[in-house]
Amino acid sequence: MTGNIAIEVAISTLANSMRLYGEAQMRFADLFGVDREEAINNVDRAFEAKLEAFHTLFDVSKAIFPYFDHGDTAILIAIRNAIHHRDHPLFRSLYARLLLDEDAARWRGAALLLATYPTLHGAPIMMQHFVRMDDVDARLDPDVASPHLDASMKAPKVRQRFELIDGELALGAIRANATRERYPGDQVYLDLMPIFTSAVVRVFKAMKAIGIRFRGFDAEAYSVPFTTEIEVDLGRPTFQAFRVGG
């Protein structure tokens, strides 16, 4: 019973962080016109808060749900851990890189490839959070031989995790499209929002199936759409060309 209460509290915290992120997104456009740094940082910190809340849910429920058996949940945990320790320059958001970094001016006029995922029910996920694909590879792919490779796992586990994520998120298709369209590696971005949505749907469904309650206003509000309505197609990435300053 004590374990269930901890899980219910973690679900409530995650749902609350999801609502706060949505509110930061809704305020973004108006605030951007006044203070772009604050607007970008508010959304980025709110996204990181969602990752932290998801990791808390992982901590209290990993005995009953196999997070590392699924590409969407596994990559969220890996990116959360990377951002939490922040001993590297990876996983800066698209807007932070283009508008806040010291070398941001060099991207003006550059063509970027933005990769995201559709839903199976047709309605798109309206919010987006893009990070560079080469950041993902640098952290997770042992063949890249990056100094920023996640060293928290033994080599066989690192490769096994990467192959799972790479396959289930169709990252090979994204790289192939980028190569075909001749985009440099540092101009290809991956949308984490549909991945986050897919992971929450997966976990919320599993928790509901074993009788975990969704307690509190935010948890109750998200329980229905995230257990019966939303489903993301992670096997079929879609692409958009984006011209910086265009």
pLDDT in tens, the chain (246 residues): 456 999 999 999 999 999 999 999 999 999 999 999 999 999 999 999 999 999 999 999 999 999 999 999 999 999 999 999 888 999 999 999 999 998 889 999 999 999 999 999 888 899 999 999 999 999 999 999 999 999 888 889 999 999 999 999 999 999 999 999 999 999 999 999 999 999 999 999 999 999 999 999 999 999 999 999 999 999 999 999 999 986
Token representation of residue 205: 């469904």
Token representation of residue 131: 């990070």
pTM score of the predicted model = 0.96
pLDDT at 87: 86
pLDDT at 2: 59
Residue 155 near residue 92 (C-beta atoms within 8 A): no
Work out the end-to-end distance of the chain between its first and last CA atoms, rounded to an integer number of angstroms: 55
Element (H, E) at 115: strand 111-116
Residue 88 backbone class (left: φ over 0; alpha: ψ -120 to 50; beta: rest): beta
* Single-letter amino acid, residue 23: E
Residue with tokens 């257990």: 227
Name residues whose C-beta falls within 8 Å of residue 205's C-beta, 6 or more positions apart in sequence.
226, 227
Enumerate the β-bridge partners of residue 200: none
CA distance 178 to 172: 10
- The burial of 41, by beta-carbon neighbours within 10 Å (0-12 exposed, 13-18 middle, 19 or more buried), is given as middle
Enumerate the β-bridge partners of residue 116: 238
CA distance 194 to 40: 19
pLDDT at 3: 67
Enumerate the β-bridge partners of residue 238: 116
Element (H, E) at 188: strand 188-191
Residue 132 near residue 115 (C-beta atoms within 8 A): no
CA distance 123 to 178: 25
Residue 233 near residue 120 (C-beta atoms within 8 A): yes
